[in-house]
Structures are given as C-alpha cells and as structure tokens.
Amino acid sequence: MGDKGTETGVAAMAACYQRFDPAAYLQYNYTPPRADFERKDSIVPWKLECLHRAFNEGDVSGELLVDIGSGPTLYQVLSGCEVFNQVLLTDFLEVNRQELRHWLQDEGSCSLDWTPYLQHVCKLEGRRPSAWTEKAAKLRQAITDILPIDVHRPQPLASDILPSEGADCLVSCFCLESVSPDLPAFNRALGHIGKLLRPSGHLLLIGALGESYYFGGPGVKIPVVPLNEAQVCASLSENGYTLIRLEVYTLPQDMRVGVDDVSGVFFVKARKD
Ligand code: SAM
C-alpha cells in the first residue's frame, strides 16, 4: 500500500474505533478463561508473569513509565508502578480514558474489578494477597495523568508532556498491530513511539501474533495486521532497538473464544540504542 493508501487505512481504523465498547472489550479479554488465575496456561497470568519478570531484572529503572494505548486496562502497569514513581497512561479514545479515570478516582463505577489482578501481582512479588490494597494505593499515587495519544502522528503526545530526553521506559500492549492498517503503518508507529523514549530506555511490547481481527464490542469488528515473530524483530531492529528477549505464548484451544482470531501472543523486552 502506498502512502496515500496507508493514510486512508489509518482514517478507516480511527472510524472503526469510534464504536469501541470498553465494558464489552474487558468482558471478552479480561475475565475467565482468558483471565483465570487458577490456571498457569491462561493468557492474562502469562502476560503478568512476563511483565513482572521484565520489571524486576534490575536493568529497568528511572522515574517515568509511559503506557502507550492503555485502553480501559491497568494490568500492564501493576508491576511497573513498584519501579517507577510516575506512570503516565494514554489512549486514543475518551471512553477508555474515562474508564481509567473511574478507577483512579475510586468511584466504584468501573466495568471490571481489578482486585484479582492486584492480588495476583502481589503474589508474584512475594507479598501476601491482602497487600493488594497497598498496591492499588501505590498505583493511584503513581499515575500522574491519563492523556490522549495517536501513534500514527510523528509526535504521538502533545509536545510539552514529557521531559526533553524522553520517558525512561515504555510499555505497550496490543496497541500498534490493532490500530495499523498494514505492516508499514505498524513499523512507522513503532518509530513514532520510539521518539518518546530516552536513549538506553526500555520498551516492553506485548502483541498479537497471526491475528486479522478482534471484536471491540458487539458487532464491532476491528481489523488487525497479522504479525509473525520475524516481522516484530525486523521492525524493532529497523527502529533502533536491541532485542533483549522475545517470548511467545500459543493460545490453547479453549482460549479461542470467538472474540478474535489470534493464534499467539509475543512479549518483547528491548532497549533503545
Ligand atoms: N492496551 C490495552 C490492552 O492491553 O488490552 C488495549 C488494547 S486495544 C486492543 C487497542 C487500543 O488502541 C484501544 O484502547 C484503542 O482506543 C487504542 N487506539 C486506537 N487508535 C489508536 C491510535 N491511533 N493511537 C494510539 N492508540 C490507539
């Protein structure tokens, strides 16, 4: 697809997202069987374990962690908020930012109860599950803001948001491939978010493998760029990252619940050159 085609594709993706339904999306992806904390092979515990390990190897540090395309979810910053004093959440859609604000303000009107997630990460950290209230307080204290972002813009965040050298670490889960019309747009988006990261800063990237669509709500079918591991690695290297680790999860049959056609999930830990 040429530049014009990609531009049209990006606009079409933005139009698709206007019907995104945070509560339905959470229900599809963040309840059992995909979030079954009794099962080692459930997708959410796998993601939490990858993030826990990546944040606790001693090489990831600094002051500011930015989550790119947070959506209505918090799981991706539950380990990071113990390492970084400041956590910035971002999303393209106001409905998702609103969902996150409900949790932040502890308004009791959240579409999902994050307690089992907080408890599970406490366990990973060797703390008693009842420490989850302290973790929730820590996260609420660490989140400095919830801001609009567009990864298709060369400058995805407003110009005065980040320190001039950039954030110390980026985390981004299921965002770039689910908002890009094709592989060149995915590559470019990875380049755009790289500008938000300081040299030698870390990128923790989680995403779908072999996925061509997912449902963002009832009847809201959102196209996805089907990626393989080689394409993810090539895109990282083209955009000036050194790969530290790539892990792959293959979806068990009973996790294929009809809300997408994902076949696996990748987890990447990389360092900006
Ligand atoms: N990070 C969450 C997770 O792990 O479940 C949400 C991922 S969801 C599949 C994709 C997210 O990308 C949505 O929250 C959507 O609003 C956001 N999004 C859509 N267009 C975007 C854009 N141009 N730039 C950044 N984020 C975008």
Specify the pLDDT at position 1.
47
Q: Cite the DSSP H helix spans in 2-93.
A: 3-17, 22-29, 43-55
- Our count of domains for the chain comes to 1
CA of 231 to the centre of ligand 1 (A): 20
**Which atom, in ligand 1's list, is nearest to the CA of 22?**
14
pLDDT tens digit sequence for 117-141: 999 999 999 999 999 999 999 999 9
Residues 6+ apart with CB under 8 A from 72: 22, 23, 25, 26, 95, 96, 99, 100, 111, 112
Specify the pLDDT at position 55.
98
Q: Residue 92: CB within 6 Å of ligand 1?
A: yes
What is the chain's mean pLDDT, rounded? Answer: 96
Residue 2 has pLDDT above 60, yes or no: no
Q: Which domain holds residue 22?
A: 3-272
**Which atom, in ligand 1's list, is nearest to the CA of 153?**
23
Number of H helices, E strands in the chain: 9, 9
Q: Residue 173: CB within 6 Å of ligand 1?
A: yes
77 labelled binding-site residue: no
Q: Residue 122: CB within 6 Å of ligand 1?
A: no
Q: Residue 176: CB within 6 Å of ligand 1?
A: no
**Among 89, 48, 52, which residue's Cα sits nearest to residue 71?**
89
CATH number for the domain including 9? 3.40.50.150
pLDDT tens digit sequence for 195-213: 999 999 999 999 999 999 9
- The torsion region of residue 125 among left (phi > 0), alpha (psi -120 to 50) and beta comes to alpha
Residues 77 and 65: beta-carbon distance below 8 Å: yes
Q: Residue 75: CB within 6 Å of ligand 1?
A: no
pLDDT tens digit sequence for 228-245: 999 999 999 999 999 999
